[in-house]
């Protein structure tokens, strides 16, 4: 039995943050039912590129789910939805603050029909505060959280991360919050409401950058591929391309000096400890650049592995997904859908000793399972 096998999730969400979270619940065995508007309510279904006529963006967040059609603005359909709520454990939505309340489907209404229901709402800014009613998309959140200000080259523009990192992190908190609420329900027998904000998540994920400001009044700035606190810790160009070097400890630095055949740098007053290396980082990088450029990436990787120093190629997406380590970890899966064929995907990274994650359902076409749950299926 999978851990969430007897749990039903009604998924009212769209785009990525919340759908990716409910997908993970489906991976863990939950029955996840996407409740979509007739005609479609998820804009990602129309975002290319496409595979078998399906959006690859939509495909990456919706495996292990079913899809039904209900118009929640229609009184009869709302009643059908509430009937499903009576038999469900979790409701997840990412409607703008206030929208579900206007439809008579906020947590108070859901709790009235099922006191044990757990309702998780994902919004850009949460249910309270001056921005509560404003829309918030991932790039806006990356900008407002400060993340963009510390991403990019020192003399370049503020830069967003190449994937929707605020959405991705929030999807994890969807799962964490729901699992915690389920555990609490085991003790109390009652459900609860989870108010999850993308801005809250991204600000809480500033890690050492926020800690430096809050505790030392230190404002981090863009450093490109360098590290705020450690040196040498960045990308260098080898003879045939870029390689990330992470010399993160004093022990690793001593090994690094041996690896580059500069043992005297261990006691050099400019570089003898990390604080001095950061203070003299430009000089250290200037001296290292021709040394690193003299060998290929494979040569350096062999040297780094010999000395147990972290480092890795700056891979393209093709190289990343086809590298031997990813193949060895069996990270790429495939599900067959009878209507549009095979769907390849990156598997859930959880690898438990006795918890078999299964991939049974390809991302559903719109309304594919309405006949199973809706009295009068639409469209």
Which residues are annotated as catalytic?
Answer: 167
Whether the bond into 53 is cis, omega within 30 of 0: no
Residues in the chain: 379
Give the whole-angstrom CA distance, residue 281 versus residue 286: 8
Give the whole-angstrom CA distance, residue 11 versus residue 89: 11
* Beta-strand pair 8-11/90-93: parallel
Give the whole-angstrom CA distance, residue 114 versus residue 82: 9
Give the whole-angstrom CA distance, residue 191 versus residue 17: 22
Rg (C-alpha) for the chain, rounded Å, is 25
Q: Which of 290, 268, 291, 289 is nearest to 279 (CA)?
A: 268
Query: What is the number of other CB atoms lying within 10 angstroms of the CB of residue 127?
Result: 17
Angle at 118 between CA 112 and CA 123, to 5 degrees: 105
Give the whole-angstrom CA distance, residue 158 versus residue 147: 9
Give the whole-angstrom CA distance, residue 61 versus residue 46: 14
CA 331 distance to own-chain centroid? 16
Give the whole-angstrom CA distance, residue 60 versus residue 348: 11
Angle at 319 between CA 149 and CA 229, to 5 degrees: 35
Q: Which of 316, 266, 343 is nearest to 64 (CA)?
A: 343
Give the whole-angstrom CA distance, residue 131 versus residue 104: 22
**DSSP assignment string, 119-150:** EEEEESS-SSSTTTTS---HHHHHHHTTTGGG
Q: What are the tokens at 315?
A: 């891979």
């Amino acid at each position: 039995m999978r851990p969430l096998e007897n749990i039903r999730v009604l998924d009212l969400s769209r785009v990525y943050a919340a759908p990716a979270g409910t997908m993970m619940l489906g991976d863990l065995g939950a029955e996840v039912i996407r409740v979509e508007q007739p005609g479609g309510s998820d804009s990602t279904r129309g975002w290319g590129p496409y595979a078998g006529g399906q959006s690859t963006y939509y495909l990456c967040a919706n495996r292990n789910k079913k899809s039904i059609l209900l118009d929640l603005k229609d009184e009869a359909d709302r009643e059908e939805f509430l009937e499903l709520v009576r038999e469900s454990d979790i409701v997840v939505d990412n409607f703008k603050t206030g929208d579900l309340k206007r439809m008579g489907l906020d947590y108070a209404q859901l709790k009235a029909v099922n006191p044990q229901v757990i309702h998780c709402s994902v919004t850009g800014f949460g249910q309270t505060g001056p921005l509560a009613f404003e829309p918030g998309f991932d790039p806006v959140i990356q900008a407002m959280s400060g993340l963009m200000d510390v991403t990019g080259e020192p003399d370049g523009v503020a830069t967003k991360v190449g994937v929707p990192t605020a959405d991705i992190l929030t999807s994890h908190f969807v799962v964490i919050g729901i699992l915690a609420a389920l555990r609490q329900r085991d003790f109390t027998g009652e459900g609860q409401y989870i108010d999850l904000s993308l801005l809250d998540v991204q600000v809480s994920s500033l890690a050492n950058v926020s800690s430096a400001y809050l505790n030392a009044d230190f404002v981090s700035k863009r450093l490109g591929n360098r590290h705020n606190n450690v040196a040498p810790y960045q990308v260098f160009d080898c003879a045939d391309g870029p390689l990330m070097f992470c010399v993160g400890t004093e022990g690793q630095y001593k090994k690094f000096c041996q690896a580059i055949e500069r043992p005297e740098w261990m006691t050099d007053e400019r570089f003898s400890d990390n604080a001095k290396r950061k203070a003299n980082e430009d000089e250290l990088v200037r001296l290292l650049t021709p040394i690193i450029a003299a060998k290929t990436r494979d040569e350096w990787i062999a040297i780094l592995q010999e000395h147990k120093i972290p480092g890795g190629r700056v891979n393209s997406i093709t190289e990343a997904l086809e590298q031997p380590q990813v193949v060895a970890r069996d990270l790429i899966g495939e599900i067959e859908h009878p209507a549009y064929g095979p769907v390849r995907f990156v598997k859930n990274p959880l690898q438990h000793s006795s918890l078999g994650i299964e991939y049974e359902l390809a991302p559903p076409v719109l309304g594919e399972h309405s006949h199973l749950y809706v009295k009068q299926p639409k469209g």
